[in-house]
Structure formats: structure tokens, C-alpha cells
Amino acid sequence: MSVEYDQVSPVVETTHGKVRGTLLNALYGEEFYGFDGIPYGEPPLGPLRFKDPRERKPWIGIRDCSQPQSKCIQVSSYTKQVEGSEDCLYLNISVKKLESKFPLPILVYIHGGQHKGGDSSRRAWGPDYFMKEDVIFISIGHRLGPFGFLTFANPSLEIPGNAGLKDIILALRWIKKNVKNFSTFLVHLSSSTS
């Protein structure tokens, strides 16, 4: 079974480990489940800075995914101050219901910001309007500015560029492998008991 069903904080099994979400209320009162800050790649820190993203290593236990993570490091267009974190390869999943007899439609959102700014979390772009329907809404955090798009012609530096776009591709691969676990609970439950 891929979901440990709990009305308030369900646990979903992914290819990398279990994640715990939370029950939330949308703008118009609809309830939905939010799984915020699911890691899809290794933190691009230290020797991994500016490099192609690497798939996240599996974790043991249940990862709390009930709160949004920091946005990717950037210079605020309002305050002109640096904000966010380099550790930002996370995605966020919002789903109206985990019990479904059929796979739900999937909407993947990649935030704007000209590859220099933006925030994929529900703090900036909540799924409220989408949660009026039975859909899965997923937003992807990816590296921005020089952390995501710096490149050097010298191959010995191993900074080929477009790391931010490669982050998105890695996230889409994670989604392809795992999204079924967030929408077909009854299918998994009925197939495992027959």
C-alpha cells in the first residue's frame, strides 16, 4: 500500500522514502492535502554548486512535508536584498483527495521570474483555485540566476550551464515515477487485497 491514510496527516510512499503531508483549507473552504518541500535532488551545495543536479538519495523514516521550504536563492526585486536558500530542489504537491478510483489530472507549474527570481511554494502561488476540482497540482523549485544558469566554456571547470533547466527535468522524472501514489489510493488498496 502506498498511502497510510490519515484524515489530517497522510503518509505517502515515494521512490525515495515516505512523506507526511497535511490537511489544509483553500481560499473558498475546500479541503485539500498539501505535501510541501518534497526533495527530488541532492542539495546543490559545496562541490555540487553550479553542477548538474543529482537524484536525491533515499531517506529512512517519514519526512515531514507539511511546511513550505525556502525559495531558491535570489535577489528580491522589491528589497534588492538576497533571500532564499541554495538548498532548494524541492517540489510541492497539492491534491484534493487521495482516494480515487482513477488517476487524477496533473498540473505541473514552473514559476516565472525570467530565471532570476520566483517562488514555487504555496506562500506565493497557492493551489486554492485548482483545489475546487479533483486534480493534482505540483510546483517545482529550481535554481535561479547564476546558481542555475552560470556557464563556462572551459570543460575542466565542469560547469556546463543550464543547471536550473536540468533541475526541472530531474523533477519531472521524479513526478513521472511517483505521482500515481498521490492519486490512486483505492486502486492500490483494491488490487492489494484481491
The DSSP output letter for 52 is P
Under a CB-based contact definition with an 8 Å cutoff, are residues 32 and 24 in contact?
yes
pLDDT at 5 over 60: no
Report the pLDDT value the prediction gives residue 52, as an integer from 0 to 100.
Answer: 93
Q: Do you know the residue count of the chain?
A: 194
CA separation for the pair 40, 175 (Å, rounded): 9
pLDDT at 1 over 70: no
Q: What digits encode the pLDDT tens for the residues 136-177?
A: 999 999 999 999 999 988 888 888 889 999 999 999 999 999
- Global confidence as pTM: 0.87
| CATH code of residue 25 | 3.40.50.1820
Domain that includes residue 145, residue range: 3-193
CA separation for the pair 63, 59 (Å, rounded): 8
Grid coordinates belonging to 111 = 514559476
Grid coordinates belonging to 63 = 519526512
Under a CB-based contact definition with an 8 Å cutoff, are residues 188 and 182 in contact?
no
Q: How many domains does the chain have?
A: 1
70-77 average pLDDT score: 87
Report the pLDDT value the prediction gives residue 184, as an integer from 0 to 100.
Answer: 62
